[in-house]
Amino acid sequence: MADRHVLCCKACGTTLTRAVEIVLRADSESGTPDWTPKKPVTPPGQAFRMTQAYAWSTDPSTAVHLGHVPIEFLNVDDIGPSVKLTRKSQYLNGCCGLDGCDGPNQICQCGNEIGTLKSDCWTPHTFIPFPDGTRWEVESTP
């Protein structure tokens, strides 16, 4: 059985997600994440880890804040109640959700920036952890 992991805040240690299985994927593999707008990228309980940057824009003049590798994609339903919306209005763009194109729009309850939520009508729906603000831990079993 594969290890299950929880995402934690680097600043305060709060658990940010329920336990998920992390699956390594490459764009050329079958089972590649679903990039369909308004659809979850991953099934609940599973995170996809990719070893190449996520190109959310084809505009070469746009800064790619999601260009870190590895990059993980989680189902929005796996995010816990300690994850909150940022107060930085410049990160809250989108027409009927969050497009996630401008910066980390999710924070821990302690205020630490922890990731980007994409939930707009033209984006796939996913949560992408910010590596400078989070860490993965193996789920502890009682």
Could you give the count of Cα atoms lying within 13 Å of 135 in the half-sphere of its Cβ? 8
- Give the pLDDT mean for 92-117: 93
Q: Which domains does the chain have, with CATH numbers?
A: 1-142 (2.170.150)
What confidence score (pLDDT) does residue 103 get?
83
User: Would you say residue 58 has pLDDT above 60?
Assistant: no
Q: pLDDT at position 118, please?
A: 94
Residue at token pair 């502890």: 140
Q: Residue 77: which of 27, 40, 124, 114 has the closest Cα?
A: 40
* Averaged pLDDT score across all residues of the chain: 86
Please give the average per-residue pLDDT across 107-130, as a whole number: 95
pLDDT bucket at 32, cuts 50 / 70 / 90: low
pTM: 0.87
Output the CA angle 48-66-140, nearest 5 degrees: 40
Q: Are 46 and 20 in contact (CB under 8 A)?
A: yes
Q: Is 28's pLDDT higher than 50?
A: no
Give the residue-averaged pLDDT of 92-104. Answer: 90
